[in-house]
Amino acid sequence: MKPGSVKHYKTLSELHEGNHWSAPENPMFSLIGCQSSCQLGEREFTVDAYVIAFKKLKSGVIMYGRTPYDSNNGSMYFMKPRQVIGIKGVEFEEAGFMIFIHEDYLSGHELHSSIQKYGFFDYEVNEALHLSPKEEETIWELRDKILTEYNNNQDEYSREIMLGHIASILNYSQRFYKRQFINRTVISGKTVTRFNSVLQQYIGNGGLQEKGLPSVHYMAEKMNISSRYLSDLLKQETGKTALELIHLALISEAKNLLRSADRGVAEIAYYLGFENTSYFTRLFKKQTGLKPLEFRKQPVN
């Protein structure tokens, strides 16, 4: 393989062979225990599988989605199929594990669709889940149950049992992330305050007229955070997603212009970055219950 190239593994058997691990007990599901190292080598690779991992790094860097992860906390992180993973000089502080679930293993199971609802598969690795000792114990207990089933002579019940435990890990992780969001808010301040500051700066600097509506990706990039993590944080703080908050800010601007400026609806829509008046009108009515002209004609109480 050429230096700098990314190795892709279509099967878990290829992944195991490429990393000099023993063959997986199940060609679609594997569990790897890590002591001081998982023998991943120093290269970039992708795999047609979901990955759930728990590690506490002593040294080195893991790259996931081109973002470095160098935390020395006991952390869980979640990877979706074909996401680039890179390893460099990694040593682990203590035991960890990696679970690989080939995407085909989920076919016909409820997890095939429900796994999409877990936003943390789209987080960057520097937004990993940092576990408390009690939370860590819960995850290890579920891992041990999976390991017991994995090492048994697998039968027609094995898939349902192992994926049931995976579902439990994902549900607990969702709960633990919620706790982390709350703790993060206390430590770093309200995300919504920073979000609104970036948004108002964009509006104030003529971004709407020059570039149109700001995307969630743009807002997240300005805040040095992934789009999915940003929306989940804002949802926790405000009950609304990033896109909903962008729309609310724009409608607030629209209300002000409808009340104070002698401009037509089409002109206001264009000024606010909307590509067409009908989309602006639909969004305005959705947020206020009134069309723009109906709002303008309403008396100010």
- Co-location of 174 and 261 in the same domain: no
User: Mind listing the pLDDT tens digit for each residue in 96-144?
Assistant: 888 999 999 998 899 988 898 887 777 765 567 888 888 889 999 999 9
The pLDDT of 64-73, averaged and rounded, is 46
Highest mean pLDDT of the ranges 40-44, 61-65, 147-151, 227-231: 147-151
The pLDDT of residue 3 is above 50? no
Per-residue confidence (pLDDT) for residue 239, from 0 to 100:
75
Burial 122-150 (b: 16+ CB within 10 A, else e): bbbbbbbbbbeeebbebbeebbebbbebb
- Co-location of 244 and 103 in the same domain: no
- Co-location of 226 and 272 in the same domain: yes
- Co-location of 225 and 76 in the same domain: no
Count of domains for the chain: 2
28: CATH? 2.60.120
Among candidate residues 137, 154, 188, the one where a domain is terminated: 188
User: Mind listing the pLDDT tens digit for each residue in 187-212?
Assistant: 444 677 788 888 888 888 888 888 88
User: Mind listing the pLDDT tens digit for each residue in 18-68?
Assistant: 888 889 999 999 998 876 555 555 667 788 899 998 876 655 555 544 444
- On whether residue 193 sits in a domain, the answer given is no
- Co-location of 122 and 81 in the same domain: yes
The pLDDT of residue 300 is above 80? no
- On whether residue 69 sits in a domain, the answer given is yes
Selection from 106, 131, 105 nearest residue 120 by Cα = 131
Q: What is the pTM of this model?
A: 0.62
Q: How far apart are CA 197 and CA 203, in angstroms?
A: 10
Per-residue confidence (pLDDT) for residue 53, from 0 to 100:
85
pLDDT band at 186 (very low <50, low <70, confident <90, very high): very low
User: Mind listing the pLDDT tens digit for each residue in 254-289?
Assistant: 888 887 767 888 998 888 888 888 989 998 888 888
Decide the pairing of beta strands 96-102 and 29-34: antiparallel
Among candidate residues 123, 156, 188, the one where a domain is terminated: 188
Tell me, letter by letter, the H, E, C secondary structure of 224-292: CCCHHHHHHHHHHHHCCCHHHHHHHHHHHHHHHHHHHCCCCHHHHHHHCCCCCHHHHHHHHHHHHCCCH
- Co-location of 220 and 150 in the same domain: no
- Co-location of 139 and 19 in the same domain: yes
- Co-location of 171 and 26 in the same domain: yes
- Co-location of 218 and 259 in the same domain: yes
- Co-location of 176 and 239 in the same domain: no
Among candidate residues 153, 188, 223, the one where a domain is terminated: 188
- CB contact at 8 A, 135 and 173: no
pLDDT band at 11 (very low <50, low <70, confident <90, very high): very high
Residue 103, Cβ density class (10 Å: 0-12 exposed, 13-18 middle, ≥19 buried): middle
Domain holding 47, by residue range, is 6-188
- On whether residue 23 sits in a domain, the answer given is yes
268: CATH? 1.10.10.60
Per-residue confidence (pLDDT) for residue 86, from 0 to 100:
67
- On whether residue 1 sits in a domain, the answer given is no
- On whether residue 194 sits in a domain, the answer given is no
- Co-location of 164 and 254 in the same domain: no
What are the beta bridge partners of residue 129? 76
- What is the number of other CB atoms lying within 10 angstroms of the CB of residue 115? 20
